[in-house]
Chains A and B, each alone.
Chain A
Amino acid sequence: MASATRPGGLGSWLDERLGLSALREFAAHKTVPLHSATIWYYFGGITLFLFTIQVLTGVLLLLYYRPSPTEAYESVQFIMTRVQFGWLVRSIHSWSANLMIFTAFIHMFSVVFLHSYRRPREITWLSGLVLLGLALGFGFSGYLLPWNKVSYFATKVGTDMAASVPIAGHQVARFLRGGADVGGATLTRFFGFHVAVLPGLTTLLLVVHLGLVQRHGMSSPPWSEGKKLSQMNFFPNFFLRELMAWYAALAVLGSLAALFPWELGEKADPFAPAPAGIRPEWYFLAPFYTLKLIPSHVWRVEGELLGLMGFALLAAWWVLLPFWASNSKGAVRTRWVTGAGVALLAYLVTFSLLGYFR
């Protein structure tokens, strides 16, 4: 370190231009509270690590992928069978996407149960939820890109749902599809969303989210407020532990990719009938199954529309959690929030399982 700041050395040269000493100073004083739930702090970092893997493998896939209905499937098949380690890159990209959404959900619920959304972290919560929404958008748009039978019909079902939203539903569906139905224009559009629009927005939001985390530091749970907690240095203690977690994630990812390579399936045929038992990716299963349970009409309202309105209200209620979680005196209603978190988690797990097995 001393050499980095030695007058006339490279460190000094960079420090003068980039202000590295301020960063070093910040890192040296950044600490992480130690308590029974410290382990949950690692999941934000694991999600970030998996996102980085997504970017790297995504760039590699871009070298061979061709976004057109006549070439998309064949190009993915080429990647998997002819390109050296192409199967591994594609499989890691697909598995990592699913693991990233899974760890993002763990991260979100850990924030809820540790009540880390409370003042002054409301915007951190909001930016995190937008990031989760963008991750789901990545999943939805990326699912279509191999242009196989299951992804084609799942996209058809997904965009049909958008069409049932009142007033602007048809325009939204048309915008997503690039036409009246899912076709070549949809594939091009989804590719654009997947590799340009969503990465741009995600990077922006990620900078805001991480910046706010640094700005406010690591949150301590409400039950430790006022108590003395042992503090772990972020650098190098927490960082080395986080590195271990990343290695563990890499081991899980590598094992899944090597033992259960992501299947390509059959090429999409828009004129073929929809395959039986079609269902979306696991993270959309809970709303999908809920919509299946709602009758076609409740009173005079269309069932699907009613379901979508219910989801919109639920999402709004969840997004506004930091604002309804505190009472007029500023105290957090921890029991209410924990109860709501448990209820939402139970709903997501139960309905996802029902959607998968039924």
Chain B
Amino acid sequence: MECHANMDGTLKAPVTDYANDIHARHGFSCADCHGGDRNADDPEAAMNPAKGFKGHVARTAVPALCARCHSDAALMHRFKPQQRVDQLALYLTSVHGKRLATGDTAVANCVDCHSVHNIREVKDPLSPVHPLKLPETCARCHADAAHMQPYKIATNQFAEYRTSVHWEALSKRGDLSAPNCASCHGNHGAAPPQVASVAEVCGTCHVLFEEMYNKSPHKPVFAAMGGGGCTICHSNHGIRQPNIGMLAGTGAVCAQCHDATSAGGAAAAQMAGLLTKLDTALTQSDAVLNRAHDSGMEVSEPILRQMDGRQAQVKALVAMHEFQVAAVAKPVNEGLAVAAETRRAGEKALQDRDSRRVGLALSLLTIVITMVGLWMAIRSLESKAPAVPKPAGR
């Protein structure tokens, strides 16, 4: 440490970086990875191969080197009892691990994602594998056309991901539970999900959607087509906010397979019609209730009830993944009943507001007439007996 701290450039960098490294905080030193005599002051003695000094660690040797500790449950338990110790086992099953085993050193190993001498905990926002940073870390290689060229892998995943609802949730709303690359592909065991298992991957978060999809006529058809599941309609990396337009009309994803005159096309149009009807009804109720609320009317109860309508809308959107009109119609009808009820309440509140204003106008008229009467009475009184001057008191 002392020697390298006095050097320049790449020989000094590890010492500077290591100050923030999680291993430094737990008392590990250079010799734990590079070997040598940690107590020797003399550089020759400290870096003596006879004392196990390895110097630069080959890229192919990195996973095994890290695993000396990270696969040792007893050792890891001392520092972080809940830390997993299966990273190497998983890595060996990954595309990265398999290719490294064949001698391809261009694939990612531990240090490519976690950094070398500046390794931080995953929860540290400065760590390259923190959920907010991970997509960019993966993109360092996967968005690099030159790097990916030998593997014939597309490089648009990161660009597409940045247009997705998942990226929006992660980066704009700061929702760390939103999916990043590792959520679908795994982290140490990184591999592309097989097309047949895509629905299962999405279903880890979108449980109800998966249940509905499994009941739908699409599942066996898509499976026969070679899989793809959710991605056939929603795409994979660039998943946008779904909307009713995906069912029917120009740009509908259903139209990719179903002709508008076919049974499937008609069902899609029916479902789109039902969902649009519910959305319109709820939006109109919202508008009426907002007008009543802005007029100062107490409509908190129907506003609360309106949430049941929105919940029915969500249920209908979930049920839509069963691709059965009847399944969608049930929650839609429930939602329409709520929308009608809340709209009636809002309209009643607006009628009450108008009645109040009429009542106010009549009251004001009565008050003004009374005041005029009083004023005339005062004038009549004072014309008969005018005020008399007297000396002012204190």
The chain A residues found within 8 Å of chain B, CB to CB, are 31, 33-34, 77, 80-81, 87-88, 118-120, 217, 219-220, 224-233, 236-237, 240-241, 243-244, 247-248, 250-251, 254-255, 258-261, 263-264, 266
Any chain A CB within 8 A of the CB of B388? yes
Stretch of B137-145, B179-187, B322-330, B357-365 contacting A (4+ beta carbons < 8 Å): B357-365
Task: Please give, as numbers and ranges, the residues of chain B lying within 8 Å of A77 by CB-CB distance.
Answer: 298, 300-301
**A258 and B357 contact, CB distance less than 8 A:** yes
Least distance between B351 CB and chain A CB atoms (Å): 14
Q: Once bound together, how far apart are the Cα atoms of A220 and B390, in whole Å?
A: 12
Task: Please give, as numbers and ranges, the residues of chain B lying within 8 Å of A266 by CB-CB distance.
Answer: 300
Q: Once bound together, how far apart are the Cα atoms of A50 and B161, in whole Å?
A: 64
Q: Chain A residue with minimal CB distance to B364?
A: A251
Q: Chain B residue with minimal CB distance to A236?
A: B381
Chain B residues with a Cβ closer than 8 Å to the other chain, count = 30
Q: Once bound together, how far apart are the Cα atoms of A259 and B360, in whole Å?
A: 9
Least distance between A333 CB and chain B CB atoms (Å): 16
Least distance between B379 CB and chain A CB atoms (Å): 10
Which of A118, A225, A231, A264 has a CB less than 8 Å from the CB of B298? Answer: A264
**B298 and A247 contact, CB distance less than 8 A:** no
**A80 and B298 contact, CB distance less than 8 A:** yes
Q: Chain A residue with minimal CB distance to B385?
A: A233
**A259 and B357 contact, CB distance less than 8 A:** yes
**B360 and A258 contact, CB distance less than 8 A:** yes
Which of A225, A237, A243 has a CB less than 8 Å from the CB of B394? Answer: A225
Q: Once bound together, how far apart are the Cα atoms of A224 and B363, in whole Å?
A: 41
Q: Once bound together, how far apart are the Cα atoms of A227 and B370, in whole Å?
A: 36
**B360 and A220 contact, CB distance less than 8 A:** no
**B360 and A254 contact, CB distance less than 8 A:** yes
**Known A247-B371, A248-B371, A251-B367: A261·B297 in contact at CB below 8 Å:** yes
Q: Once bound together, how far apart are the Cα atoms of A266 and B301, in whole Å?
A: 11
Of the candidates B300, B359, B375, B390, the one having the most CB atoms from chain A within 10 angstroms of its own CB is B300
**A226 and B378 contact, CB distance less than 8 A:** no
**Known A247-B374, A259-B360: A228·B393 in contact at CB below 8 Å:** no
Q: Chain B residue with minimal CB distance to A218?
A: B393
**A237 and B357 contact, CB distance less than 8 A:** no
Task: Please give, as numbers and ranges, the residues of chain B lying within 8 Å of A224 by CB-CB distance.
Answer: 392
Task: Please give, as numbers and ranges, the residues of chain B lying within 8 Å of A227 by CB-CB distance.
Answer: 391-392
**A229 and B300 contact, CB distance less than 8 A:** no
Q: Once bound together, how far apart are the Cα atoms of A240 and B357, in whole Å?
A: 28
Task: Please give, as numbers and ranges, the residues of chain B lying within 8 Å of A255 by CB-CB distance.
Answer: 360, 364
How would residues 284 to 301 of chain B score, 1 for a CB under 8 Å from any chain A CB and 0 otherwise? Answer: 000000000000111011
- Beyond contacts A81-B301, A237-B381, A263-B296: 9 other A-B pairs, Cβ-Cβ < 8 A, are A219-B394, A225-B394, A228-B389, A230-B388, A233-B385, A240-B378, A244-B378, A251-B367, A258-B360
Q: Once bound together, how far apart are the Cα atoms of A119 and B394, in whole Å?
A: 8
Least distance between B173 CB and chain A CB atoms (Å): 18
**A33 and B374 contact, CB distance less than 8 A:** no
Least distance between B348 CB and chain A CB atoms (Å): 10
Least distance between A354 CB and chain B CB atoms (Å): 27
Q: Once bound together, how far apart are the Cα atoms of A55 and B374, in whole Å?
A: 26
Q: Chain B residue with minimal CB distance to A251?
A: B367
Which of B298, B301, B359 has a CB less than 8 Å from the CB of A261? Answer: B298
Main secondary structure of the interface of B (DSSP, over half): helix
Q: Once bound together, how far apart are the Cα atoms of A80 and B296, in whole Å?
A: 11
Subset of 14 A-B contacts with CB under 8 Å:
A33-B392, A87-B298, A220-B393, A231-B389, A233-B385, A240-B378, A240-B381, A244-B371, A251-B363, A251-B368, A254-B360, A254-B363, A254-B367, A261-B296
**B391 and A226 contact, CB distance less than 8 A:** yes
Least distance between B352 CB and chain A CB atoms (Å): 8
**B392 and A225 contact, CB distance less than 8 A:** yes
Task: Please give, as numbers and ranges, the residues of chain A lying within 8 Å of B357 by CB-CB distance.
Answer: 258-259
Any chain A CB within 8 A of the CB of B377? yes
Q: Once bound together, how far apart are the Cα atoms of A88 and B356, in whole Å?
A: 9
State the 8 A-B residue pairs at the shortest beta-carbon distance, nearest first: A220-B392, A258-B360, A261-B296, A230-B387, A228-B389, A224-B392, A229-B392, A80-B298
Any chain A CB within 8 A of the CB of B44? no
Task: Please give, as numbers and ranges, the residues of chain B lying within 8 Å of A254 by CB-CB distance.
Answer: 360, 363-364, 367
Least distance between A36 CB and chain B CB atoms (Å): 13
Q: Chain A residue with minimal CB distance to B382?
A: A237
Which of B359, B364, B375 has a CB less than 8 Å from the CB of A244? Answer: B375
Which of B364, B378, B389, B392 has a CB less than 8 Å from the CB of A237? Answer: B378
Q: Chain A residue with minimal CB distance to B355?
A: A258
Q: Once bound together, how far apart are the Cα atoms of A244 and B371, in whole Å?
A: 6
Which of B296, B393, B394 has a CB less than 8 Å from the CB of A260? Answer: B296
Task: Please give, as numbers and ranges, the residues of chain B lying within 8 Å of A250 by CB-CB distance.
Answer: 367
Q: Once bound together, how far apart are the Cα atoms of A81 and B345, in whole Å?
A: 11
**A220 and B394 contact, CB distance less than 8 A:** yes
How would residues 138 to 162 of chain B score, 1 for a CB under 8 Å from any chain A CB and 0 otherwise? Answer: 0000000000000000000000000
Least distance between A331 CB and chain B CB atoms (Å): 12
How would residues 82 to 103 of chain B score, 1 for a CB under 8 Å from any chain A CB and 0 otherwise? Answer: 0000000000000000000000
Task: Please give, as numbers and ranges, the residues of chain B lying within 8 Å of A233 by CB-CB distance.
Answer: 385
Least distance between B123 CB and chain A CB atoms (Å): 24
Task: Please give, as numbers and ranges, the residues of chain A lying within 8 Å of B364 by CB-CB distance.
Answer: 251, 254-255
Task: Please give, as numbers and ranges, the residues of chain A lying within 8 Å of B377 by CB-CB distance.
Answer: 240
Task: Please give, as numbers and ranges, the residues of chain B lying within 8 Å of A251 by CB-CB distance.
Answer: 363-364, 367-368
Q: Once bound together, how far apart are the Cα atoms of A230 and B391, in whole Å?
A: 8
Interface positions of B from 52 to 97, Cβ below 8 Å from A: none
Q: Once bound together, how far apart are the Cα atoms of A259 and B356, in whole Å?
A: 8
How would residues 257 to 275 of chain B score, 1 for a CB under 8 Å from any chain A CB and 0 otherwise? Answer: 0000000000000000000
Which of A119, A228, A244, A259 has a CB less than 8 Å from the CB of B390? Answer: A228
**Known A244-B375, A259-B360, A260-B296: A217·B393 in contact at CB below 8 Å:** yes
Least distance between A321 CB and chain B CB atoms (Å): 16
Q: Once bound together, how far apart are the Cα atoms of A31 and B390, in whole Å?
A: 10
**A231 and B296 contact, CB distance less than 8 A:** no
Q: Once bound together, how far apart are the Cα atoms of A264 and B296, in whole Å?
A: 9
Q: Once bound together, how far apart are the Cα atoms of A237 and B300, in whole Å?
A: 49
Least distance between B153 CB and chain A CB atoms (Å): 47
**A258 and B356 contact, CB distance less than 8 A:** yes
Task: Please give, as numbers and ranges, the residues of chain B lying within 8 Å of A241 by CB-CB distance.
Answer: 378
Q: Once bound together, how far apart are the Cα atoms of A219 and B391, in whole Å?
A: 12
**B371 and A230 contact, CB distance less than 8 A:** no
Of the candidates B297, B378, B392, the one having the most CB atoms from chain A within 10 angstroms of its own CB is B392
Least distance between B133 CB and chain A CB atoms (Å): 29
Q: Chain A residue with minimal CB distance to B356?
A: A258
Q: Once bound together, how far apart are the Cα atoms of A127 and B388, in whole Å?
A: 32
Q: Chain B residue with minimal CB distance to A73?
A: B300
Q: Once bound together, how far apart are the Cα atoms of A33 and B371, in whole Å?
A: 23
Task: Please give, as numbers and ranges, the residues of chain A lying within 8 Å of B389 by CB-CB distance.
Answer: 228-231
Interface positions of B from 24 to 72, Cβ below 8 Å from A: none
Q: Chain B residue with minimal CB distance to A258?
A: B360
